[in-house]
């Protein structure tokens, strides 16, 4: 048993508040779990002691929505948008997701892994201890499988990886119709699941992607295998996707700028997490804000993620997302940090992380700040001192 002490703890215990413990201590057992959390004055004896010199400790960050396995980049589209093209126009002209699909299909598994590893290490350098990784740039059976294998291989790093099957992300160029492609998406899933490559199933419900009826067929295929679902919903328009996902008991609905009052009520009733993605909102210069106050009033749990991808959100900075969530969406710093810890975990169906509480995983961050609100207030600066994964200091 190991004792980490001499730190201010932001435990995030309970449903609200920072859960601050000044001059706190954490006991970690040999299995890499927290077995005691409280004031140093009351800590039971331990075999070894690490003094944290007055730093701040938070739970490890959970980035619950990324697309970080892909080939190529789309900085050219950044320039096109600066010249007035919209994300939807670029997508409809064959750019966007489809251009990343071409680059991903052309990349070897080793090259995809090298690039993805570099990205995940950047996330880890800012305190990420659990990351979700989606497929969705293959759009054929072989490349979707390759992406998911690469995502699984990232777990050789000291972090936890959850994989999400997102073949219903865009229509591939060879598809004869959206409905025929959805049939294929459903048909590929059992084998990928059998191979242990899929933790959840996602889709992009949008006028430039798939209709609610098509998404429902993908969700039926997931349900038949007992897999949980999530949805890219109401990003560019209100398609009623959130209400559909809620009917399937979705873990999360993500983006949500165009979410209606009915959609908010549906999420609340289903206990579905709302994942807000300020990086995409910012990069696409969106002006429609997600209905934060309505989500709050309805008691919908709020999560926050990087949405790292080469098009709409090419960021590898979870700390910047904390700041953007506050400045752009008016989340509080506490909501933002909960969004990237305990509620991010919940958006992945994980209840064993995200708070500094006995019984949880000993994944935590040691920061050179005095108060957790400083993590959201500053930007372009990384105050991480240590990233502790399963009770061990691990570099980013």
Residues comprising the binding site for 4-imidazolone-5-propanoate? 74, 137, 169, 235, 312
Answer yes or no: are the C-beta atoms of 26 and 73 closer than 8 Å.
no
Q: Could you give the CA distance from residue 292 to residue 199 in angstroms, rounded to a whole number?
A: 28
Residues 261-320 interacting with Fe ion (rule: CB under 5 A): 307
Counting contacts by CB under 6 A, is residue 199 touching ligand NIG?
no
Q: Nearer to ligand NIG by C-beta: 97 or 362?
A: 97
For ligand NIG (CB under 6 A), the number of binding residues is 14
Counting contacts by CB under 6 A, is residue 258 touching ligand NIG?
no
Q: Nearer to ligand NIG by C-beta: 5 or 235?
A: 235
Q: Could you give the CA distance from residue 285 to residue 180 in angstroms, rounded to a whole number?
A: 34
Instruction: Report in angstroms how near the CB of residue 250 gets to ligand NIG at its nearest.
Output: 15
Instruction: Give the SS3 label for residue 373.
Output: helix
Which of 95, 96, 301, 339 contacts ligand NIG by CB under 6 A? 96
Answer yes or no: are the C-beta atoms of 100 and 311 closer than 8 Å.
yes
Sign of the torsion formed by the C-alpha atoms of 241, 244, 246 and 252: negative
Counting contacts by CB under 6 A, is residue 204 touching ligand NIG?
yes
Q: Nearer to Fe ion by C-beta: 230 or 338?
A: 230
Q: Nearer to ligand NIG by C-beta: 160 or 312?
A: 312
- Residue positions in the annotated binding site? 65, 67, 74, 137, 169, 232, 235, 307, 309, 311-312
Give the single-character DSSP code of 163: E
Residues 305-364 interacting with ligand NIG (rule: CB under 6 A): 307, 309-313
In sequence order, what are the residues at sequence separation of 6 or more whose Cβ sits closer than 8 angstroms to the Cβ of residue 201?
Answer: 164, 165, 166, 189, 218, 219, 221, 222, 227, 228, 229, 230
Counting contacts by CB under 6 A, is residue 100 touching ligand NIG?
yes
Q: Nearer to Fe ion by C-beta: 307 or 335?
A: 307
- Residue positions in the annotated binding site for N-formimidoyl-L-glutamate? 137, 309, 311
Residue with tokens 């910012």: 282
Q: Could you give the CA distance from residue 360 to residue 148 in angstroms, rounded to a whole number?
A: 27
Build a one-symbol-per-residue string for 40-79: x at contacts with ligand NIG by CB under 6 A, - elsewhere.
Answer: ---------------------------x------------
> Angle at the Cα of 17 (from 14 to 20), degrees rounded to 5?
95
Phi, psi (deg, nearest 5) at residue 72: 70, -170
Q: Nearer to ligand NIG by C-beta: 65 or 353?
A: 65
> Angle at the Cα of 186 (from 180 to 189), degrees rounded to 5?
140
- Residue positions in the annotated binding site for Zn(2+)? 65, 67, 232, 307
Answer yes or no: are the C-beta atoms of 23 and 39 closer than 8 Å.
yes
Binding site for ligand NIG (CB under 6 A): 67, 96-97, 100, 204, 232, 235, 280, 307, 309-313
User: Which residues in this chain contact Fe ion in the complex, by CB under 5 A?
Assistant: 307
């Amino acid at each position: 048993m190991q004792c980490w002490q001499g730190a201010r703890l932001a435990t995030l215990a309970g449903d609200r508040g920072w859960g601050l413990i000044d001059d706190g201590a954490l006991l970690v057992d040999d299995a890499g779990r927290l077995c005691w959390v409280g004031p140093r004055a009351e800590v039971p004896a331990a075999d070894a002691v690490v003094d944290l010199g007055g730093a701040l400790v938070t739970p490890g960050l959970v980035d619950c929505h990324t697309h970080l396995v892909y080939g190529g980049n789309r900085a050219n589209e950044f320039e096109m948008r600066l010249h007035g093209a919209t994300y939807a126009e670029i997508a409809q002209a064959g750019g966007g997701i489809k251009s990343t699909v071409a680059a991903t299909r052309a990349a070897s598994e080793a090259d995809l892994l090298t690039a993805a590893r570099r990205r995940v290490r950047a996330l880890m350098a800012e305190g990420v201890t659990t990351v979700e990784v989606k497929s969705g740039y293959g759009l054929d059976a072989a490349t979707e499988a390759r992406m998911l294998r690469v995502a699984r291989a990232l777990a050789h790093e000291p972090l936890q990886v959850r994989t999400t099957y997102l073949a219903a992300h865009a229509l591939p160029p060879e598809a004869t119709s959206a409905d025929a492609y959805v049939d294929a998406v459903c048909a590929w899933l059992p084998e990928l699941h059998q191979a242990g490559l899929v933790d959840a199933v996602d889709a992009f419900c949008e006028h430039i992607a798939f209709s609610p009826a098509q998404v429902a067929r993908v969700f039926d295929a997931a349900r038949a295998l007992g897999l949980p679902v999530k949805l890219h919903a109401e990003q560019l328009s209100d398609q009623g996707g959130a209400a559909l996902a809620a009917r399937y008991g979705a873990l999360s609905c993500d983006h949500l700028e165009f979410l209606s009052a009915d959609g908010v009520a549906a999420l609340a009733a289903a206990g579905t997490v709302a994942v807000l993605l300020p990086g995409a909102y910012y990069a696409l210069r969106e002006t429609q804000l997600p209905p934060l106050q309505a989500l709050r009033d309805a008691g919908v749990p709020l999560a926050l993620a990087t949405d790292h991808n080469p098009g709409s959100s090419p960021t590898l900075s979870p700390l910047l997302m904390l700041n953007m969530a506050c400045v752009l969406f008016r989340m509080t710093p506490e909501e933002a940090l909960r969004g990237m810890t305990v509620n991010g975990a919940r958006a992945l169906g994980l209840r064993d992380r995200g708070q500094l509480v006995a019984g949880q995983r000993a994944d935590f961050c040691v920061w050179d700040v005095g108060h957790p609100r400083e993590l959201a207030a500053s930007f372009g600066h990384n105050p991480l001192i240590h990233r502790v994964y399963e009770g061990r200091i691990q570099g980013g």
